[in-house]
């Protein structure tokens, strides 16, 4: 069965410093992995995805994620954090027994960028 | 309007009321989804529609009744809800129902059941 774990409920980072939000996954087939961000009182916004190919995926707002098959991880990264990056981040994996696009989400990591 | 819209944004209803949530996508997508987001819990997939046909019902209680009249519109009809049904209900759409297609979410309806 597909599942995602986000081991940190909260991540704090100083503005300008690099940030990492961690995600590990478990899938029974090929992993299709996603990162979403949620700002207060808003829906989820798609940031990036890994389907196949290069292990380093670049996405919106300067975010990138590194797929590591041996460690079953898909950590989200950004070289220099902005205060406006403060939000709730969700990792998700796609899949089901039928191959349908059902997303399984982690519990989310709240990122706070300190000015 | 662009993207995925949801109305109303906030809803307070009693346990004996009947109400409906509406979702509309302006992206030309073929698949639409309902999710429930509760505090401290992962998003829960409720229903999936592909080309207006329901393809997934994730063991959702019958007091939640979805309707998809066309590929652009999705409704969630609510009746005799319980206080534990209070949550943020998110609608999403994707180009295709197959694995790997990113989903685009609406802003959600914050539901409070009193």
According to the 3-state scheme, what is the secondary structure of A47-72? EEEECCCCCEEECHHHCEEEEECCCC
> What is the enclosing helix (H) or strand (E) of B91?
strand B87-94
- Considering only residues B8 and B39, tell me which one the structure prediction assigns the higher pLDDT: B8
Residue, of B53 and B67, whose pLDDT is higher: B67
Which one is predicted more confidently, B26 or A3?
B26
Q: Are B41 and B49 in contact (CB under 8 A)?
A: no
Could you tell me if A51 lies within 8 Å of chain B, comparing CB atoms? yes
The answer to whether residues A71 and A17 touch, using CB atoms and an 8 Å cutoff, is no
Tokens of B99: 């694995």
Check if A46 contacts B (Cβ < 8 Å).
yes
Say if CB B23 and CB B105 are below 8 A apart: no
Q: Which residues contact B74 (CB under 8 A, 6 or more apart)?
A: B22, B23, B24, B25, B32, B34, B49, B66, B67, B68, B91
Mean per-residue pLDDT of chain B: 92
The predicted structure's pLDDT at residue A96: 61
User: Average pLDDT in the B30-51 region?
Assistant: 91
pLDDT at A42: 83
- Are A37 and A105 in contact, with CB atoms under 8 Å apart? no
Residue-wise burial string across B38-68, b where 16 or more C-beta atoms lie within 10 A, e elsewhere: eeeebbbbbbbbbeeeebbeeebeeebebeb
- Candidates A96, A112, A76, A80; CA nearest to A30 is A96
- Give contacts of A42 with chain B, Cβ < 8 Å: 107-108
What per-residue confidence (pLDDT) applies to B73?
A: 96
Give A41's contacts in chain B (Cβ within 8 Å). Answer: 107
A45: contact with B, CB 8 A cutoff = yes
Higher pLDDT, A76 or B56: A76
The chain-wide mean pLDDT, for chain A, equals 92
Query: According to the model, what pLDDT value does residue A100 have?
Result: 66
Give the pLDDT band (50/70/90) at residue B112.
very high
What digits encode the pLDDT tens for the residues A76-115? 999 999 999 999 999 999 866 566 678 889 999 999 999 9
What is the number of helices (H) and of strands (E) in chain A? 0, 12
Of A115, A87, A93, nearest to A10 (Cα)? Answer: A87
β-bridge partners, A91: A35
Residue A98: predicted pLDDT: 60
Q: Give the model confidence (pLDDT) of A39-69 as tens digits.
A: 987 889 999 999 988 899 999 999 999 999 9
Tell which B residues from 5 to 44 touch A, by Cβ distance under 8 Å.
6, 31, 40-43
Average the pLDDT over each of A93-102, B45-54, B68-77 and give the range with the smallest value: A93-102
Q: Do B107 and A41 touch (CB under 8 A)?
A: yes
């Amino acid at each position: 069965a597909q599942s995602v774990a986000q081991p940190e409920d909260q991540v704090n980072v100083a503005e300008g410093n690099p940030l990492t939000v961690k995600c590990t996954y478990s899938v029974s087939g090929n992993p299709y992995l996603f990162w979403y961000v949620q700002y207060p009182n808003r829906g989820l916004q798609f940031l990036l995805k890994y389907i196949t190919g290069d292990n380093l995926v670049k996405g919106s707002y300067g975010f990138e994620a590194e797929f590591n098959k041996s460690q079953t991880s898909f950590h989200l990264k950004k070289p220099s954090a902005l205060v406006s990056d403060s939000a709730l981040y969700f990792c998700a994996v796609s899949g089901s027994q039928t191959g349908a696009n059902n997303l399984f989400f982690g519990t989310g990591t709240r990122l706070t960028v300190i000015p | 309007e662009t993207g995925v819209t949801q109305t109303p944004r906030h809803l307070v209803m009693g346990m004996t009321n009947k109400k409906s949530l509406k979702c509309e996508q302006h992206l030309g997508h073929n698949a639409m989804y309902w999710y429930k987001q509760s505090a401290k819990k992962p998003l829960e997939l409720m229903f999936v529609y592909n080309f207006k046909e329901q393809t997934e019902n994730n063991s959702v209680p019958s007091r939640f009744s979805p309707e998809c009249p066309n590929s652009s519109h999705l409704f969630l009809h609510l009746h005799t809800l319980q206080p534990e049904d209070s949550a943020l209900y998110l609608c999403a759409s994707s180009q295709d129902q197959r694995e790997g297609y990113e989903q685009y979410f609406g802003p959600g309806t914050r539901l409070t059941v009193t």
